[in-house]
Amino acid sequence: MSPSPAAPGAPVWSRWEIVAAIGCLLTALIVRWLAADHPLSFDELWILAGSTGYGSNYMGFFDNQLENEAFCTTAVENAKSPWVVWTQGVTFHPPLHMVSLWGWRQVWGGSDWVAAMYSGVCSVVGIGFVFAALRWQAGVGPATCVALCLALSPVQTQLGTEVRGYGLLLALVGCTAWQMVRIETLGPTRRRVWLLGLTLLPLMLTHYFAAATCLAVCWWALLRLPRSFWWPFAGAVVVAAISYLVVWFPVALTHLDKTAAMDIYKTSEPFLKGAARSGLALPVKLLFEVAPTHQRQWFVVLAMLGLLSAVGLWRSSRVTIWVLLLTVPIGLMLAVDVARGTNQAAFVRYAAAASLAAAATPILSAFVVRNWLGWLVGAICVLLAAMGLGGPRNVGSPSFHHMSQTLLPILQAESPQIPLVCQSPSGHQKYYAKAMMLEWLHTPGFLPRPVMRVLPELPAKSLQKLRAATPEGRFWLCVTPGQTSSTELPKTLQTLFPQVRAVRAPVHVPAGNRGVQPEPAVDLWLLELVDARREPAGKLQP
């Protein structure tokens, strides 16, 4: 490549190009507008609480401690300052998405739909950048096919409407790709190169796996930038890195020990086989819903798209940007899995940074080979994407929304002074108890009410406070039985709560199956702590 700083300016948009762009973006916006109306999963509620300043640290206040003045930690009216959100958000997550979500909700309101639409708008912005970039590279045809595929993709729709940082990440990756294409098309200048290098800072402040995208950008710079622009680009990257170290790295250090301890994604099948299969399937799973019964057919599609992309890369260097933005994030994820013995590649969201390139790479490659082939591949991709619309959300964390809607009328029929205790005796004990607690605090009509999250061992002091909360010593126990049988659960609970008896039979909410990590079953007990000196406790009945 030998672009010149004096390269001609960008071509003027024609009427049909404007119509095509507006049509694609309106389609994406409408699809996300409808998909944003969904119950929030635990991870989404956690991020929502982080955007108000009540993230990971605040949840520990309920551990074995009766909280009489609990409030909705996700409500925008209870939000703390942006500085608190920046420094005390959610563990494992950089702060940019939560801080920007704080500002968005301050302007547009505090509903769940408003929070989800922030990601939706960001996702549409990312698609707009991809359309503009591909229009520069190959014209309105490839741009329209790729944009429609992304607009209608059920996977991209979900990523683009979750209350997490993936929507903002897509917007930033799209902006990065657009800048790279602009430099290749119009020629590099110091200003353009510096802006590209500085874009790496918001990428890393949005998602840690964006480090792979930053690596892809640097790799592209070495391959495609003239040597006279290497140093300006390196200077911008250094400034971005120093800024990152100053504004965020001290906080990120506090997350490292917790991140290293995570084992929730440990694979149970032969490691290399599981990781390789999950990683290789990502270019397809980032766009289309892949049913377990159709995996072989989808791998045939993947092989064909991979071969087509290889031919496109061999025939035109225009595909280089998209190939790097696709393969480097997936490759780095596989490397992390190999190093840690995990299978995070099984979760599509961790490869979200490669989403835009997953659509652009094969479709642009097809247009490079033959124009008719590009239209054919583009039409097939758009059709396959549209066929998956309307399906269930494939969430990656439990949602206790069904639990709260089922059990709330039962709680409201009794005194609001009766505390609610969340506990999980097996499985991920703290995780499920925290998820239930956050759902209850978020549920309209639940508060005011004393609450507590019980850990595997309950101190006597906490038990005394629970007994003194009401004259009868009553409390609600919301528990996930997990692998504990219906006959063993009462024994487990009676060990945790000595001198307790059941006031009524428990209410059972069956397990759901609406996501990658299905919601566990929940039992609601109304229990009564008695004074052993006056009367026996009796036995709990399942």
The residue assigned the tokens 């064909």 is: 304
Each residue's pLDDT tens digit in the chain (542 positions)? 444 444 456 678 899 999 999 999 999 999 999 999 988 988 899 899 999 988 766 666 667 778 888 888 899 998 999 998 888 777 778 999 999 999 999 999 999 999 999 999 999 999 999 999 999 999 999 999 999 999 999 999 999 999 999 999 999 999 999 999 999 999 999 999 999 999 999 999 999 889 999 999 999 999 999 999 999 999 999 999 999 999 988 887 776 666 555 544 555 455 556 666 777 788 888 998 877 666 677 777 778 888 888 888 898 889 999 999 999 999 888 888 777 777 777 788 889 999 999 999 999 999 999 999 999 999 999 999 998 887 777 767 778 888 899 999 999 999 889 999 888 765 566 778 888 888 999 999 998 998 887 766 667 777 777 778 788 888 898 888 765 555 666 777 777 777 778 888 888 888 776 554 567 788 898 888 876 555 554 555 44
| Res 464: pLDDT | 79
Cα radius of gyration rounded to whole Å, the chain: 26
State residue 11 phi and psi, 5-degree precision: -65, 145
For residue 355, CA distances in Å to 146, 282, 343, 390 come to: 11, 9, 19, 20
Structure pTM?
0.90
Read off the pLDDT of residues 399-421 as tens digits, 9 standing for 90 and up: 888 889 999 999 999 988 999 98
Q: Which two tokens stand for residue 441?
A: 């605090």
Pairwise CA distance, residues 321 & 177, whole Å:
7
Rounded CA gap, 26 and 28, in Å? 5
Query: Which amino acid is located at 169 in the chain?
Result: L
* Contact of 151 with 386, CB cutoff 8 Å: no
Rounded to the nearest angstrom, the gap between the alpha carbon of residue 453 and the centroid of all alpha carbons in its chain is: 25
Q: Tell me which residue has tokens 């014209």.
A: 139
**Spatial CA neighbour of 405 closest among 273, 512, 291:** 512
How confident is the model over 220-230, as pLDDT tens digits? 999 999 999 99
Cα 209 to Cα 542: distance, rounded to the nearest angstrom: 46
The answer to whether 479 and 489 have CB atoms below 8 angstroms apart is: yes
Angle at CA of residue 98, ends 192 and 248, nearest 5°: 65
Looking at the DSSP bridge assignments, the partners of residue 502 are 527
Distance CA 405, CA 440 (A): 10
CB-based contact 382:189 (threshold 8 Å): no
Angle at 286 (CA atoms; ends 22, 99), nearest 5 degrees:
70
Please report which residue ranges of 469-537 form alpha helices under DSSP H: 488-496
Q: Which residues does 187 contact at the CB level (< 8 Å), separation at least 6? A: 3, 4, 5, 6, 7
The answer to whether residues 490 and 542 touch, using CB atoms and an 8 Å cutoff, is yes
Give the per-residue pLDDT at 10.
66
Look at residue 264 in the predicted model and tell me its pLDDT.
Answer: 47
> Domain map of the chain by residue range?
15-40+111-260+271-387, 401-529
